[in-house]
Structure 1
């Protein structure tokens, strides 16, 4: 009976790892898309609304924005490694949701107002 329980726990752990890999993928893709869409929008006629990101853009251009995003991802990684495994998915979700919102918002702005910028 104990071996069945161990097998079940191993299966749950493996499945949890797959969910976390998926969430990491969402975090990375959403972060990259946010940077790309921001750079496209700024190159057209839009301005960055986030004052910290705007300062990074003004100081170092796209490299500054990418550095800022990498710093945020590094902070997420530290949090991910330091919290209990039960909270890791919450940390990844909490980081990815604003990124996904920004991607959707930037996409809508580019589609709706981008042609008027050119």
Structure 2
């Protein structure tokens, strides 16, 4: 038995292509970004503080515009690195952006709920 010339093609369950998955994850990035920014500024208005020192400095110096520039920079880095990956692995880029921003938004909601 020989495997020469054989290739393994990975399909996601439910006929979801890697391109479809990546599109879905970019939508999640947008939602996570908005959720993180909104909950961060609600928390700041309630007297909470930003725990990320880099974000804290940018917010203190430039406010919401600084936060938007910081998020835009992260997305730009992801978009620049994305073509370096094979098509089937490109969804890792939006996942890598969405997961920490979703986690931050969830933590923000939890923290805000503790002070209300």
Give runs of ≥4 in structure 1 deviating > 2 Å.
Answer: 12-16
CA-CA distance at 1:95 after TM superposition: 2.0
Does the CA contact (< 8 Å) of 2:32 and 2:101 recur in 1? yes
Alignment of 1:52-91 (within 5 A): 52-91=54-93
- Segments of structure 1 that go 5 or more residues without pairing to the other structure are 1-8
Q: State the TM-score, normalizing by the size of structure 2.
A: 0.80
CA-CA distance at 1:82 after TM superposition: 2.5
SS of residue paired to 2:50 = coil
- Segments of structure 2 that go 5 or more residues without pairing to the other structure are 1-8
Q: State the TM-score, normalizing by the size of structure 1.
A: 0.79
Does the CA contact (< 8 Å) of 1:34 and 1:102 recur in 2? yes
Does the CA contact (< 8 Å) of 2:22 and 2:91 recur in 1? yes
SS of residue paired to 2:91 = helix
SS of residue paired to 2:89 = helix
